[in-house]
Structure 1
Amino acid sequence: MPVPHASQALKRFTVLDLTRVRAGPTCVRQLADWGANVVKIDALLEDAGGEQLGGPRHGSDFQNLHRNKRAIALNLKKPEGIEVFRRLVEKADVVVENFRPDVKAKLGVDYESVRKINPRIVYGSISGFGQDGPYHKRPGFDQIAQGMGGLMSITGAPGEGPMRVGIPVADLTAGLFCAMGILTALLERDVSGEGQWVKTSLLQAQIFMLDFQASRWLMEKDVAKQAGNDHPTSIPTGVFKTSDGYINIATTGGRIWQRFCEALGDPDLANRPEYATAPDRSKNRKALNAEIGKFTEKKSSETWVKEFNAAGVPCGPIYSIDQVFADAQVEHLGMAQDVPNTEGRHIRLVGQPFTLSRTPSRMAARPPEFGEQTEEVLSEFGFTAEEIKSLRQGKVV
């Protein structure tokens, strides 16, 4: 198959994808979805029947992470496999990996080794805790980073113990930050002519995502605690029961608070001394939420969403995943997209969350089968038919 350029934006870049599981593939997916020529390097093991990391190849998770790529199978534990990789590096722009720091050095695919072959290479690394330091050899997993990065201590209801977030937020954000770092390094390379090493970790990404909760500690020495569905600083903002379910309401600032009380049907509520100012509303949060609940329980979620939004009060439904994709605005944004494939399989995946006016992204190709384009890709990189035949016979590819 030809290179599945999903966009013209990054078409000039070739990416070697050594990543596995989630954080790394999330990074490379960003590059693939915006048109980079991505070559996924599947680990060809001598015990080829062993389970590959990343889940079933036709499973929804793997499919969502690896669209718009091609794949070769390569045994990096053989010297001949490393030699093949080195030849690929000569013509590549980017290498992305998420091995433990000591593993890539043993394999000989670490940054220093790669840079000697191609000084223009931009090398992206994602680890659990960093490339050095006291924890750098520890294996990293999303939930561990959520705990060590402080997120679980501020998630969930007060008194119910720490709670993980329902998505692998540390994995996903580390992948996105690595992609951002790679694109930054590629822009800088246009000036200097040299590549560089882009490093991030699940722990760094998770701490960065604490955002204002982190700055509350760093600037004010205020340790945030669990607040459940209540926003920690904008009050009242949270989940409120309706006659047929629940809704989110966000009232930030005095003017919205006034409009909210009017739309709620109790304009005098805004002027009561115990709720008149933001500090008052924070101090008396529980009582205020109970007052609001007496009103919201009288009407349906759909009615309140319409009425509050008409009044200029931020409000929205709380959807299950199926309801998310049935929403009119979500359909308009095209967040669910079909992936073309000749096998007639149903592949519908989540599209990119931003658009470019001239060089849009699209689902150009289904995720590759294991090592599906090995011969095709190696030929493009200058390997002869005889060389490829020999590599196959030697179980290198």
Structure 2
Amino acid sequence: MAVSETPQGPLSGVRVLDLSRILAGPTCTQLLGDLGANVIKIENPASGGDDTRQWGPPYVMDAEGNQTDLSAYFMAANRNKLSVALDIATPEGQAEIRRLAGHADILIENFKPGGLARYGLDYASLSKTFPGLVYCSISGFGQTGPNASKPGYDLLAQGFGGIMSLTGEPEGAPMKVGVGIADVMCGMYATVGILAALRHKDRTGEGQHVELALVDAQIAWMINEGVNYLNSGKVPERRGNAHPNIMPYDVYQTSDGHLVLAVGNDSQFRRYCGFLDLAHLAEDPHFATNQARLQNRAALDAVLRPAMAARSTAEVIAGLEAQKVTVGPVQTLDQVFASEQVAARQMQIDMQSEAGPVHLIGNPLKLSRTPATYRKAPPRFGADTQRVLSAEDPFTD
């Protein structure tokens, strides 16, 4: 979807008061904004705003070559928002939050559990005055449980929630995922929960508390490995890029690089072996079925890896694609964003910010009638403070 100056989308008219910072909450509110919601982001003037404004380089440089507060990290999750500098630790700031909440459909925050109660801005306090408010709280471990008071960071969630124990080479150290995936996925779950609560509000007029924990969300997307453990009692092991339930499904070295191979069933395995001139493997009872291949993983790999390494990446990809076997390249980001596929899917977008042009990742949702729109570039800190705080209706564009 092209950059648009006209508010539209399935959530057009929905009003979001965003008291979150860093990644999980901002991921959620950016997605709501892309879908048409009006989002006001509250930033702490004492700290210079969202922590991620300082998480660079890179930064956008202004026309004079000066560094701005638009770090790439901040811009990744903060388009389609207004920025308001407001100190909620002051009585004036608290009163303004209550005023804004009175105009909002949704409030989202990621303070430590109980952190907003001292200001009278927690769900219990605000819901008395605004019973229709959908109030979303995100924290590291949730509002309950023995760890509720502990801080929440993506790395901590990945460690506590188990994904690090599964990631990395078999003999290597536990490894986090390359991006803040626990934060991002928590933001995605938050979006789903908020939309479900809005649906309930549409029917009944009732708001509610939507509450998430980074660790809960990370455990939820352990999917097959988590359920494998629950039903077997066997703690999964690190396998590098290999799959616990499918073989061969891995990254393989070629004569000039690496590629991804995903053989999803036995008929694909037969065609794969035929391409490698190893057709006899598909007839061998040690390898003929996926279950047998898993039991004899090491022995099969000892044959497949040299055969793959003797061929070029291009040769293997072309040959296996012709055989309808799933295969693909391992691309670096310069290759990713230069690809025709990214252009066709509009997964890179260019916007004009107050500081100059910025380049962002597009929204993956493709809605045929109400597509995502990109109406506002990531804002400078406090850029909309005066207009929002002086407006009778602060959410009016």
TM-score (norm 2): 0.91
Contact 1:4 1:37 in 2 (8 A): no
Q: Is the 8 A contact 2:49 2:85 kept in 1?
A: no
In the alignment, which of 222, 226, 238 is matched to residue 238 of structure 2?
A: 226
Map 1:18-167; keep pairs closer than 5 Å.
Answer: 18-45=19-46, 52-56=50-54, 57-167=69-179
Match of residue 250, structure 2, among 223, 238, 254? 238
| Distance change in 2, residues 1:103/1:226 (3 Å) | same
How far 1:135 moved relative to its partner? 0.8
**Which residue type is aligned with residue 187 of structure 2?**
G
Q: Distance in 2 between matches of 1:276 and 1:133?
A: 48
Q: Take 1:95 and 1:239, find their aligned partners in 2: how far apart are those partners? A: 43
Question: Does the residue aligned with 2:216 lie in a helix, a strand or coil?
Answer: helix
Q: Following superposition of structure 1 onto structure 2, how do residues 1-397 of structure 1 map, counting pairs within 5 Å?
A: 7-45=8-46, 52-56=50-54, 57-341=69-353, 343=355, 345-382=356-393
Distance (Å, rounded) in 2 between the aligned partners of 1:184 and 1:369 = 32
CA change 1:7–1:304 in 2 (3 A) is farther
Off by >6 Å, runs of 4+ in structure 1: none
CA distance in 1, matches of 2:257, 2:163: 27
CA RMSD of aligned residues (A): 1.8
Alpha-carbon distance between aligned partners in 1 of 2:76 and 2:144, rounded to the nearest angstrom? 31
CA distance in 2, matches of 1:280, 1:262: 18
> How far is 1:340 from its partner?
2.8
Change in CA separation of 1:216 and 1:5 when aligned onto 2, cut-off 3 Å: farther
**In 1, Cα distance between the equivalents of 2:29 and 2:348?**
20
Look up the equivalent residue of 2:51 and give its one-letter code: L
Quote the Cα distance in structure 2 between the aligned partners of 1:279 and 1:17: 49
Code of the aligned partner of 2:36: G
Q: Distance in 1 between matches of 2:268 and 2:160?
A: 36
Is the 8 Å Cα contact of residues 6 and 32 (structure 1) preserved in structure 2? Answer: no
Does the CA-based 8 Å contact 1:213-1:224 persist in structure 2?
A: yes
Once the two structures are superposed, residues 346-385 of structure 1 have per-residue CA deviations (whole angstroms, 9 ceiling, x without a partner) of: 31101111111111113211111121112222343358xx
Summarize the Cα distance change of 1:382–1:253 in structure 2 as closer, same or farther, 3 Å threshold: closer
Counterpart in 2 of 1:389? none
Aligned to 2:115, the other structure's residue is in SS state: helix
Q: Which runs of 5+ in 1 are unaligned?
A: 384-397
* 1:91–1:381 CA contact under 8 A, matched in 2: no
Whether the 8 Å contact between 2:43 and 2:49 is mirrored in structure 1 is: no
Deviations 1:263-317 (A, max 9, x none): 2222222112321222321122122112112222222212211211121100010
Rate the CA distance shift 1:310–1:258 in 2: closer, same or farther, 3 A. same
The one-letter code matched in structure 2 to 1:372 is: A
C-alpha spacing 1:342/1:26, structure 2 compared with 1 (3 Å): closer
Please report the TM-score for the alignment, with normalisation by the length of structure 1: 0.91
Instruction: Indicate conservation of the 8 Å contact 1:32/1:68, yes or no.
Output: yes
- Distance in 1 between residues matched to 2:41 and 2:75, nearest whole Å: 13
Aligned-pair identity (%) = 39
Q: CA deviation at 1:224?
A: 1.1
How far residue 117 of structure 1 moved from its aligned partner, in angstroms, is 2.0
Residues 79 and 51 (structure 1), Cα distance of their counterparts in 2 relative to 1, 3 Å cut: closer
Inter-partner Cα distance in structure 1 for 2:379 and 2:170: 46
- C-alpha distance in structure 1 between counterparts of 2:214 and 2:180, whole Å: 10
8 Å contact kept, 2:52–2:71: no
Find the aligned partners of 1:331 and 1:84 in 2 and give their Cα distance: 43
Q: Distance in 2 between matches of 1:332 and 1:146?
A: 33
The alpha-carbon deviation at position 52 of structure 1 amounts to 4.9
Render the CA deviation track for 1:43-64: whole Å, top value 9, x for unaligned: 133xx6x575223331111112
Letter in 2 for 1:15: V
